[in-house]
Amino acid sequence: MNGDHEDRRVRRTRRLLRESLLALILEKGYDKVTVQDVLDRADVGRATFYAHFHDKDDLLVSGIEELVASLRQHLAVAARAGSHESHAGFDLARALFEHAAAHRRPYRAHVSGRAGAVLRKYAHEQFTTLLREHLHDVASTHGATPVVPLEVTVQYFASALLGVLTWWLDNETQYSAEEMGNMFLHLAKPTFAAAFAVTADIQKGVSSDAVTFGKELPHAV
Amino acid sequence: MNGDHEDRRVRRTRRLLRESLLALILEKGYDKVTVQDVLDRADVGRATFYAHFHDKDDLLVSGIEELVASLRQHLAVAARAGSHESHAGFDLARALFEHAAAHRRPYRAHVSGRAGAVLRKYAHEQFTTLLREHLHDVASTHGATPVVPLEVTVQYFASALLGVLTWWLDNETQYSAEEMGNMFLHLAKPTFAAAFAVTADIQKGVSSDAVTFGKELPHAV
DNA sequence: TATAATATGGAACAAAGTGTTCTATTTCTA
DNA sequence: TAGAAATAGAACACTTTGTTCCATATTATA
C-alpha cells in the first residue's frame, strides 16, 4: 500500500517551498516575490519547482489550503461548544480571531494586506461560503425571513469581518483576540437582527416599520 | 500665460493611455495587462509612455484620481442636500451607489475584483479616510461617545461598504443604485447606533448594558 | 541489501516583459 | 514662421518565466 504516503523527498520539497514563500511574503509582499527568490531561499532546483507547481499562484494556494482546513476544524469545535448560548454559534467571529491569533504568521502572509489579489479573493470566497451556509441555517432554524436579500447580507458581513481582521493583523495588535471578537459581535449583532424578520414577531405586528428590499419578495418591487 | 494648459499632444497621449488601460483591465483584469498591451492599444510609443508615467501602477493611480475627485464632489453636494434629514448625511452610502451607477465602467475597472491589489488598497484608504472624518464629525456634533474604538468601526464600515459595492459591480446588477443604498443603510444604521453611546442617554442610565471595549476609556481595561 | 523507480539539481534555452537611451521627425505654441 | 517640445522607433541590457535534457541522488520495497 502506498495510497496515503508521499515520497519523503516530495514532502520535503513542498514544505521547503511553502515555507520559503511564506517568509518572503512577509518580507516583501507577495507581488514582489519572484519564483527565483523562492528557489534561492528553499535551495531547490528550478526544474523541481515546476515539477510540483504550475506557477507562483499555485504554490500560494496550496499553502493556504492547510490553513483553511485548520480553521474549519477550529470553527466546528467552537460551534459545537457554544451552540446553546448566545446567537446560535454566532461566536464564529470570536473563534476566527482566536485562530488568527494562534496562527499569526500564516494569517499575516495570507490574509493581510501583504497577500496578493489572488489570496484576498480566495479568503473572501471562503468567508462568504461560510457565512452563506451559516445564515441559511439560522434563517431556516429560527424561522427568520430575510428582509434584505441574503446574498447582500453575506457580502456585507464577510467584507466587514475580513476588513477588521486584516486591519488587526496589519497593525501591531493592541487588542486581544477576545476583545476583537467581542467588538465585532457588538457591531454585527444589531445588523443581524435588522437583516431578518422573525416570523413570530411579524404576526404580532411588531415589525411594522420593517421594509423589505430587493425583488425577493413579490410585494416589494 | 501657460500655467493651466498642457500641450495638446500631452493631453491626447495621457488620455489615450488611460482609456486603453481602462479597457484592458475590463478585458483581462489588471494583473494580466502589460505595458506593451497598453502601448499597442493606445498606439503610443514606448519612450513616450515612460516620459509620462513611471510604470503601470503610476498610470493606474493617475487614472483613478479624477474618479475620486468626481466622487468627492458628488458626495459634497449630496451631504449639503440631505444634512437635515435622517442620520446627518449618513446617506453618503446612497450617494456612493448613485455615483457608481453613473460611472459604471471606471468603477468596474478600478474598484471591482478586476482591479489589482494596488487599487483595492487605494480605494480602501479613500473609504476609511472619508468615514473617519465623517464619524469623527458625527461623534463630536451629537455628543456621542464611541463604545468601540473608532478605528475599528471605521474599518468595519469601510470594508462592508466596499465589499457590497464590489459585489454589486461584479454581478450584473439586478438592484438599482437606490435599492443598494437603502439596503446598505438598513444594515448599517443599527450598528451605527451600537457603536456610539449618546451622552444624554448615558446620564439617564438607559445604556446600562452598553459595554465599552478596548483601551480607549480608562475604566474599561 | 540490492535494485528498480523516481525525485532532484543544474545548465541551457526561447520567449516575454521592463525600463533606458538615442536620434530623426512631427506637432505645437507664441 | 521659427524655435521649443513631444513623439515614434529602434536598439539595448536586464529580469523573469517556464521548458527540456540528462547525470546524479535518494527512496521504497522485494
pLDDT tens per residue, range A114-133: 888 888 899 999 999 989 99
CA–CA distance, A130 with A155 (Å, rounded to integer): 11
Lowest mean pLDDT among A13-17, A44-48, A80-84, A205-209: A205-209
* pLDDT for the residue numbered A45: 97
* CB B36 within 7 Å, strand C: yes
Count contacts between A and B (CB, < 8 Å): 122
Lowest mean pLDDT among A55-59, B24-28, B204-208: B204-208
User: Could you tell me if A143 lies within 8 Å of chain B, comparing CB atoms?
Assistant: no
Query: Which chain A residues have a beta carbon less than 8 Å from that of B164?
Result: 152, 155-156, 159
Q: Which amino acid is at B89?
A: G
* pLDDT for the residue numbered B156: 98
C-alpha cell at B55: 510604470
Give pLDDT tens digits for B107-142: 999 998 888 888 889 999 999 998 999 888 888 888
pLDDT surpasses 80 at A24: yes
* pLDDT for the residue numbered B82: 64
Looking at strand C, which nucleotides approach a protein CB closer than 7 A? 6-12, 16-23, 27-30
Cβ(A155)–Cβ(B167) below 8 Å: yes
Q: Residue A208: pLDDT band by 50, 70, 90 thresholds?
A: very low
Span B65-84, average pLDDT: 84
* pLDDT for the residue numbered A142: 82
pLDDT surpasses 90 at B204: no
Q: Residue B90: pLDDT band by 50, 70, 90 thresholds?
A: low
Interchain contact, B163 vs A167, CB within 8 Å: no
Cβ(B219)–Cβ(B211) below 8 Å: no
Q: Which residue of B has its CA nearest to A195?
A: B187
Interchain contact, A116 vs B121, CB within 8 Å: no
* pLDDT for the residue numbered A82: 64
Report which residue is nearest nucleotide D5 when distances run from CA to C1'.
B7
Q: Residue B172: pLDDT band by 50, 70, 90 thresholds?
A: confident
Interchain contact, A151 vs B158, CB within 8 Å: no
User: Could you tell me if A57 lies within 8 Å of chain B, comparing CB atoms?
Assistant: no
* pLDDT for the residue numbered B19: 97
* pLDDT for the residue numbered B213: 57
The spacing between the Cα labelled CA in B39 and the C1' in C22, in angstroms, equals 20
Interchain contact, A167 vs B151, CB within 8 Å: yes
Cβ(A184)–Cβ(A93) below 8 Å: yes
Report which residue is nearest nucleotide C29 when distances run from CA to C1'.
B7
Nearest to A31 among B117, B182, B187 (CB): B117
Specify the nucleotide whose C1' lies closest to residue A45 (CA).
Answer: C9
The spacing between the Cα labelled CA in A118 and the C1' in C20, in angstroms, equals 32
* pLDDT for the residue numbered B4: 53
Indicate the Cα dihedral angle B86, B87, B88, B93, nearest 10°: -100
Domains of chain B: residue spans and CATH: 1-53 (1.10.10.60), 54-204 (1.10.357)
Interchain contact, A187 vs B214, CB within 8 Å: no
What is the helix, strand, coil percentage profile of chain A, to 5? 70, 5, 25
Please provide the average confidence, as pLDDT, over all residues in chain A.
85
Interchain contact, B167 vs A151, CB within 8 Å: yes
Cβ(A163)–Cβ(B163) below 8 Å: yes
Give pLDDT tens digits for A173-191: 789 999 999 999 999 999 9
pLDDT surpasses 60 at A89: no
pLDDT-above-90 percentage for chain A = 62
Span B41-57, average pLDDT: 97
The spacing between the Cα labelled CA in B45 and the C1' in C19, in angstroms, equals 13
* pLDDT for the residue numbered A5: 66
> B184-203 b/e with 16+ CB inside 10 Å = b?
bbbbbbbbbebbbbeeeeee
pLDDT surpasses 80 at B93: yes
Count of positions (residues) in chain A: 221
Span A94-103, average pLDDT: 96
Q: Residue A83: pLDDT band by 50, 70, 90 thresholds?
A: low
Report which residue is nearest nucleotide D19 when distances run from CA to C1'.
A47
Question: How close, in Å, is residue A13 to chain B by CA atoms?
Answer: 28
pLDDT surpasses 60 at B61: yes
